[in-house]
Structure 1
Amino acid sequence: MLRHRLASFFEPKSLLVITDIELPILKALPASFAAHATVIHIQEGQSISTVLADSPLSESKELALICVQPSHLSAVLAYLSARPPQALLLLPPNVIDMEPKESAALLSQWVKDNKVMLLGARSFGVQRPHLNLNLSRSENAKAGRVAVVSQSRMLAMSVLDWALDTHIGLSAIVSLGETVNVDIPEIIEYLAGDARTDSIVLYLDKFSSGRELISAIRTAASVKPVVVLRAGRTDKVLMGSDQVFDAALRRSGAVRVHYFVDMFSSLKALTHKRRPKGGRVAVIANGRAQAQLLMDEMLSCNHNMQQADFSQETRTKLMDLLGPGCLVGNPVIAYEPITGDKLVEGLKILQDDNNVDALMVVLAPDDATDMEKVVDHLVQFVPRAKKPILNTLLGEYSMKPLRRVIDQSGSPAFRTPETAISGMGALISYHYNQQLLQQTRIPFFDTATPDKQAGINLINGLRAEGRRELTKAESYQLLKFYHADIYLGADDKDEQYSVEDDIPALKVMVKRDPVFGPWIYFGEGGHEVKVPVDDQGLDLPPLNAYLAAQLIERSRLYRQELQMYVEPPIFKKLQKLLETVSELVTDFPGIEEIEINPIIIGYRELNVHDVRIKLTEHVMPDMPEEGGYAHMAIYPYPDYLIEHHTFKDGNEWVLRPIRPEDAEQMQAFIRNLSDESRYMRFVSMMKELTPKMLTRYTYVDYHRELALVATTTIPNPENRGLPKEIIIGLAHYLRNADGVGAEYALVIADDWQGHGLGKKLMSKLLAEAKNQGLEYIEGVVLANNKPMLGLMTGLGLINDMDPEDPSMRRVWMPFDRK
């Protein structure tokens, strides 16, 4: 199995340490490295030249850890040149470098000449606690399941210090320093596939590649929670809009936090094994004041949280349980001294209410209550509860030890209502953003196809005239080529625009971010409007109907005003308009700005006074799919790969890229394979895919990978015999750990073999693998699977023996990158 190239940092097989200060690894070199490690500790007063000359390298090490004063760097690099390592980790020395530019240039040239990966300079380093491997200057972290990645060494040390105090274990901690050939996206990708890591915390400040960053985060967030803290919201030097970054993270499935303390709260909450299915929260407390503080914070923050509305049955049961004087709305208040039994019973009642998605317990010290017994009951129940439960224990002297007991049970405990709400907000935002992550825009063949060629002709004509700005009529015409459901009226208001005076004018706007490309805004129109800081009414293309609806409903205009006026037919027209604009900027990389403003809501239509479209300064390609939609941060669903075919018997079938909603069909496809077909594909008798495998197959980042399915329709007896789509073939490739190749797989349903599906799917897969810039593609085939071997060699793949297993064959194809 290929190792990821970053394994040289995270799990090196051999190690060289050169340092002139005391490092933790000098005191605790893991036993597993004893035979594969060389340590050169330069003592004070020793000549570095003499020490290095007396320690010749007999072999190249996989990783070199260097921590020396700046004046010694050139000597160390010259020493390493004889046997360059695969990776170099450069820790900061105690001495300030008075010539940092010269040192950086020297280091950059050296790693380039010797083809060495570099973390540093001024890196925190790397820790892998489960290996007892501390490649940093800091104290050893406790082993756990959370990975920390930081662009700041000081932030990494702060998170480590906090984790040690709160007994949160880490699977890895790394900061980059001033790297030249290792970047954040690649580290995220490595940790996404790391079996030791259940969640990832990122601290970011500056970045340049929106596509690579979002692609990596989307891949990671599809399988494990990702929390992101970014500094520099007010720093004008940093590239890119912070609000656009917010929108990108929403679509990536990650959770954004804005404050350092929120990072810890979110991390605590996301280690919870339960996930809410929505944002309706129930609160139970042993006093009104602390409950009200929590409710105030909940209702004032923007985390998609709502105050759960209990059923009458729930209220009655709570009243019977808690006795006279209790409050059984939301929050639930027990005025009698609460016992552990009653608290747990109350939580059971609340979690059984279908109107409740998550629960919060708020307890203050009470001299009439045995709080230790209450907590004992909590820790017995909460980790097994059906819905997530977060706990707030106010106070320090008596409550801090009890919070630790709850934390250690696997249920998060917080010290203030504010931090608890931050944690619950992370849980709910994670659920919400995961819904956005799974969305793809699929073309519907029952609607009119956009006239893209007419749009290309219009734009090329403008370019030929030397113009970048379309007139109002030309802008309107371009939108109409994509069937925008709007009416363009005269400038002067007439009867067609007679609407209620208190209905606000609307605006749809597109602009380009230097990092994340085009973004779409929905908000108040009628005048020049800057996007308010707290307005979440913006998103990145591509959009589908669900994403467009969420964009509208998140906007400040909708939440404050529009929801009181907009009827469902008009709402659908707004959705359709946003989808149209999204499709337009997806298909035309040369569009720099769009402004449809104002939009007046009519009785049955959207009336537009003005439309303005501006083109980019440089000419962009007419066929963006050929360049991988390089102008967008999110690669759209590759509908250009969809093909319609007909079998010889007249039955129709479709070749198309897989979609997240294919999970159920995919599972049925695997279950219905014969034992022989299943063994030929998976080399095992597994009856179905695990949840993680199912996600891996059906959630595909089309920028990096591809899965194609063949589908057809059959009568569905469970739905009056109406047609239902089934998967009858699958071909996919997943990137290898080396980042330049991929492993493919092909499987055809038993009843559909011999129809040419395998050849069609595999031919298309090979062509796209080459288009995505892969250097090779490979697969493992059983040596006795003659039909598959014949198919692959017929397509031009090379059939090689597997040196480690004679029963297998490596069937592969190199791609000419010239």
Structure 2
Amino acid sequence: MSIRNLEYLFQPRSVALVGASERPHSVGATVLANLLQGGFAGAIMPVNPKYRTLGGRPVAPSVRELPQVPDLAVICTPPATVPGLVAELGELGCRAVVVITAGLDAALKQAMLAAARRHMVRILGPNCVGLLVPGIGLNASFAHLPALPGKLAFVSQSGAMVTGVLDWARSRGIGFSRFISMGDSSDVDFGDVLDYLADDGATQAVLLYVEDVRAARKFMSAARAAARSKPVLVVKSGRFAEGARAAASHTGALAGSDAVYDAAFRRAGMLRVLTTEELFAAVETLAGGKPLAGERMAILTNGGGPGVLATDALVGAGGTLATLAPHTMRRLEEVLPATWSRGNPVDIIGDAPGTRYSQALQALLQDEGVDAVLVLHAPTAIVPPLEAAQAVADTARGAARNVLACWLGGEGMVPARSVLGTAGIANYATPEEAVAGFMQMVNYRRAQQALMEVPAASSGEWRRDRERARAIIGAALQRGGGLLGEAEAKEVLACYGVPVVETAIADRVEAAVLLAERIGFPVALKILSPDINHKSDVGGVVLDLESAPAVRTAALAMRERLHALLPQAHLRGFTVQAMARRPGAHELIVGASSDPVFGPVILFGQGGVAVETVADRALALPPLNMALARDLIGRTRVARLLAGYRGRPAADVAAVAQVLLRISTLLADLPEVQELDINPLLADAQGVLALDARMSVAPAASAGAARFAIRPYPEELEESAAWDGGSVLLRPIRPEDAPQHAAFFAALTPEDVRFRLFEHMPTLPPAQLARWTQIDYEREMAFIATRSGPNGPETLGVARAVADPDNVGAEFAIIVRSDLKGRGLGALLLEKLLRYCRARGLQEVLGEALPENSRMLQLAHQLGFEVGQSAQQGSMRLRLHLAPAAR
């Protein structure tokens, strides 16, 4: 991640155009015309040895003869010239380059990047349309139209999308803060741009057009950070180009699919839409709307038909129709005609004047059970549409809830829609579009909730036998890897606390009979062959065998079937397992595979032999916590069955979630696991039980955690330290620490809160609690000191460092529980944090402290910090230069 020198790219004070031309329709001529016509106030310096002047500007014959060092250079010269030009520009002191040139092969790209890195030059492109910053009049592109100024940043991998969206947006009066064509993203990529835009005050929302993601962890870190500060919306192309691949597991077939991108966008807190039009419609709705308190919509209409259409669209999209409170119904009875609908949708009849709209809308906006109101107006000859629109606009002004509108009709509705738009009311052409707009608000709310949701405290520690699991996998790799036997796969799962049915392996028919007698009847018999993906396809599963002769007969028949159907398949024997008597249990599937972009991905859904046909499944990126695991379960249809129905008790969903958490841990520990299916996983009120499992392994290319698109909990950073006559555990904070972190905050004195936050904060808002406990270990760290207390684990202190995207410096902060100050705990925590920062390669740590925070200033002096006056009035600046960690 790096935003270094991106200010020269996105906010330059001077621009050089290398390859400027006057040849009609050439890129050099088009870019020059755009630069000159955009209104850019800084210097514009064309470069080309063939000309003395262009567009009334003097032309430099070469980069070295430019009259001044440009902040930004734009290159549109032949591919072979690009690396040398980047080197020359870097030597001059230019720090940002847009390479519009296409056709650079791999060797030229590498030479270009090598030249750029020597001088810390940032490169946008190559093979891009260019860059537009309308707020400063910069149009460094060959786009056919300029962009209007606005608050949206549009970032696209597709050049065609850049020009198409510019045309589309301009015709609708939509403006931009930044309009960025990424091209090949050889240097500046989505992660860099998202990091920059997250803190860009000129940008209210970020819109992405994505074709593929390359640096998954960088992308996810930047996207999660940006989505916490402003809406990030994404259109991803290629939704139906996946083509399920052949795989050893059901989950493996989804690797590389669009469903994985969906899971990644969801985990990052981004809102995915399907079309460009939806993208801008969603922005319009979100930009003008207020945060939703809930998802319940009331519909106010002057015609029954539009109200029914809106209701159908709402229910079909998974929305919620509000139930009106009794006092709202009484109020509506007082102001509406006797023929009104007496329910939601609220039909106020076709002759409704503006006052009736106003009175009904006011009643709905005062109902605590209503989170948004959609007002529909069908044209009539009785009431002018402008009158109704003005009444709605006046009533909605200052309301705490969102009001959306749909004035049906054509040109005659334009003045009414203008009144609504001026009042900040998002309005749409049809009821279905209005409901879609509302659902975008709902989906954005859900995305933000998922990003900020605080998981419950851990329900207790569980032990894993990592070494035994590694030994099983190691033995399999010595055989050549591939598919583990069912018993081996189940043993690995058992090492991670997943309940499995007892399973034994027999290499011959008679051995299977003996094992069945030992286990006890009835038993299940299954074929064991590395060449069979789905045993039931070859009659390789027989259940409820009640006797030794029945086992013998089934095994012999199974062997004959295999030889007849697949004579080339290798028969390793049979597995024998006790029959699991769980009448009424749900059959689920839990799976994992490795996606080529995002690494490990976890699947959950309805299982059984018809798993592909039912296709009830959801995907998530690990690592998971309890909140994320429950969210994954809740995104499937089978979740409603697990909740219980018609006297059937609810299944133990917490036990299902625990299986997902343990698979997440297994994937971090065991990078050799490539694919995994537990199918079926039985789930009922008594818990869960894995009946069948398959697992494929291969030599690992990297450590388990390194494969994850989101860095998992760094367990290796835990350490015990002697303190106060006993010991404390110093470890990274986890999302599950939220309850004890809230208790820790509550134990701080107001003065200590002010010392830490520079302001009074009597209570800790849930969003802030989530922000402090759900950290991205890739770019920040918070170490807590914890020990067991009378009511469970307790947090005693925390030291936190947030690194800049360039990994040069980090801002730090530290606080100890008020009743434990002055006993050396702060020094323990800060020294731990500094060791981590050195190991990470940071060059310095910085902090702020109030002058009266004498303990903090004393600790800083003790640890070698420079202490001086801060630029922030009334505080002291703490700075420590870090020596590299010893190797």
Q: TM-score, normalised by structure 2?
A: 0.78
Partner of 2:629: 548
- For residues 170 and 366 of structure 2, the distance between their equivalents in structure 1, rounded to whole angstroms, comes to 37
**Contact (CA 8 Å) 1:591, 1:614: kept in 2 or not?**
yes
- For residues 312 and 211 of structure 1, the distance between their equivalents in structure 2, rounded to whole angstroms, comes to 51
Partner of 1:127: 132
- For residues 671 and 156 of structure 1, the distance between their equivalents in structure 2, rounded to whole angstroms, comes to 53
**Contact (CA 8 Å) 2:651, 2:684: kept in 1 or not?**
no
Partner of 1:284: 300
Q: Does 1:523 align with 2:599?
A: no
Change (3 A) 1:193 1:567: farther
Change (3 A) 1:635 1:388: farther
Deviations 1:772-792 (A, max 9, x none): 454543445679977546534
Q: Which has the larger radius of gyration?
A: 2
**One-letter amino acid of the structure 1 residue matched with residue 798 of structure 2:** L
What is the Cα deviation at residue 733 of structure 1? 1.5
What is the Cα deviation at residue 695 of structure 1? 7.0
Change (3 A) 1:380 1:134: farther
Partner of 1:490: 524
Deviations 1:270-298 (A, max 9, x none): 11341223333222222122222222222
**Contact (CA 8 Å) 1:3, 1:738: kept in 2 or not?**
yes
Deviates more, 1:231-240 or 1:265-274: 231-240
Change (3 A) 1:58 1:681: farther
SS of equivalent to 1:337: coil
**Contact (CA 8 Å) 1:775, 1:817: kept in 2 or not?**
no
Partner of 1:733: 801
**Contact (CA 8 Å) 1:671, 1:687: kept in 2 or not?**
no
Partner of 2:65: 56
Match of 1:357 among 346, 371, 385: 371
Q: Does 1:635 align with 2:688?
A: no
Match of 1:510 among 592, 608, 612: 592
**Contact (CA 8 Å) 2:847, 2:877: kept in 1 or not?**
no
Root-mean-square deviation over aligned CA pairs: 4.1
SS of equivalent to 2:229: coil
Deviations 1:215-246 (A, max 9, x none): 21111111211111011113359993110111
Match of 1:377 among 391, 397, 401: 391
Match of 1:160 among 142, 155, 166: 166
Match of 2:227 among 217, 221, 232: 221
What is the Cα deviation at residue 41 of structure 1? 6.8
Deviations 1:554-600 (A, max 9, x none): 21444589864763343333233323323322332222111111234
- For residues 261 and 613 of structure 2, the distance between their equivalents in structure 1, rounded to whole angstroms, comes to 14
Match of 2:845 among 763, 774, 777: 777
Q: Does 1:753 align with 2:821?
A: yes
Partner of 1:326: 340
- For residues 548 and 200 of structure 1, the distance between their equivalents in structure 2, rounded to whole angstroms, comes to 28
SS of equivalent to 1:635: coil
**One-letter amino acid of the structure 2 residue matched with residue 572 of structure 1:** A
Q: Does 1:231 align with 2:201?
A: no
**Contact (CA 8 Å) 1:802, 1:808: kept in 2 or not?**
yes
What is the Cα deviation at residue 257 of structure 1? 0.7
Partner of 1:719: none
Change (3 A) 1:216 1:536: farther
Deviations 1:684-704 (A, max 9, x none): 566679989877655521221
Partner of 1:648: 724
Deviates more, 1:139-148 or 1:759-768: 139-148
Counting only pairs closer than 5 Å after superposition, residues 150-549 of structure 1 correspond to structure 2 as 150-236=156-242, 240-301=256-317, 304-439=318-453, 444=458, 446-488=460-502, 490-491=524-525, 492-494=542-544, 505-527=587-609, 529-530=611-612, 535=616, 537-549=618-630
Change (3 A) 1:611 1:5: same
Q: Does 1:590 align with 2:672?
A: yes
**One-letter amino acid of the structure 2 residue matched with residue 553 of structure 1:** G
- For residues 197 and 272 of structure 2, the distance between their equivalents in structure 1, rounded to whole angstroms, comes to 18
Stretches of structure 1 lacking an aligned partner (at least 5 in a row): 715-721
Q: Does 1:707 align with 2:788?
A: no
Change (3 A) 1:467 1:80: closer
Q: Give the number of aligned pairs.
A: 789
SS of equivalent to 1:330: coil
Deviates more, 1:43-52 or 1:585-594: 43-52
**One-letter amino acid of the structure 1 residue matched with residue 632 of structure 2:** L
- For residues 174 and 399 of structure 2, the distance between their equivalents in structure 1, rounded to whole angstroms, comes to 22
**Contact (CA 8 Å) 1:486, 1:608: kept in 2 or not?**
yes
- For residues 871 and 371 of structure 2, the distance between their equivalents in structure 1, rounded to whole angstroms, comes to 51
What is the Cα deviation at residue 808 of structure 1? 4.3
**Contact (CA 8 Å) 2:90, 2:116: kept in 1 or not?**
no
- For residues 642 and 110 of structure 1, the distance between their equivalents in structure 2, rounded to whole angstroms, comes to 41
Deviations 1:432-488 (A, max 9, x none): 122222347677373433333333343334334544433222222222222224545
Partner of 1:6: 6
Deviations 1:754-807 (A, max 9, x none): 111222211222233344454543445679977546534654x56387898997
SS of equivalent to 1:392: strand
- For residues 581 and 69 of structure 2, the distance between their equivalents in structure 1, rounded to whole angstroms, comes to 79
- For residues 311 and 338 of structure 1, the distance between their equivalents in structure 2, rounded to whole angstroms, comes to 23
**Contact (CA 8 Å) 2:353, 2:388: kept in 1 or not?**
yes
- For residues 415 and 665 of structure 1, the distance between their equivalents in structure 2, rounded to whole angstroms, comes to 48
Q: Does 1:799 align with 2:866?
A: yes
What is the Cα deviation at residue 355 of structure 1? 3.4
SS of equivalent to 1:362: strand
What is the Cα deviation at residue 411 of structure 1? 2.3
Partner of 1:718: none
**Contact (CA 8 Å) 1:16, 1:38: kept in 2 or not?**
yes
Change (3 A) 1:265 1:603: same
**Contact (CA 8 Å) 2:47, 2:62: kept in 1 or not?**
no
**One-letter amino acid of the structure 1 residue matched with residue 319 of structure 2:** M
**One-letter amino acid of the structure 1 residue matched with residue 783 of structure 2:** L
Change (3 A) 1:816 1:581: closer
SS of equivalent to 2:152: strand
Partner of 2:94: 85
Partner of 1:116: 121
SS of equivalent to 1:338: coil
Q: Does 1:27 align with 2:102?
A: no
Counting only pairs closer than 5 Å after superposition, residues 66-77 of structure 1 correspond to structure 2 as 66-67=75-76
**Contact (CA 8 Å) 2:406, 2:427: kept in 1 or not?**
yes
SS of equivalent to 2:324: coil
**Contact (CA 8 Å) 1:439, 1:544: kept in 2 or not?**
no
**One-letter amino acid of the structure 1 residue matched with residue 624 of structure 2:** L
Change (3 A) 1:648 1:532: same
**Contact (CA 8 Å) 1:784, 1:807: kept in 2 or not?**
no
Deviates more, 1:775-784 or 1:401-410: 775-784
Deviates more, 1:116-125 or 1:782-791: 782-791
- For residues 74 and 438 of structure 1, the distance between their equivalents in structure 2, rounded to whole angstroms, comes to 45
Deviations 1:413-446 (A, max 9, x none): 1112332232222211111122222347677373
Partner of 2:74: 65
Deviates more, 1:634-643 or 1:208-217: 634-643
Partner of 2:513: none
Q: Does 1:768 align with 2:836?
A: yes
Counting only pairs closer than 5 Å after superposition, residues 602-617 of structure 1 correspond to structure 2 as 604-617=686-699
**Contact (CA 8 Å) 1:208, 1:515: kept in 2 or not?**
yes
Change (3 A) 1:662 1:196: farther
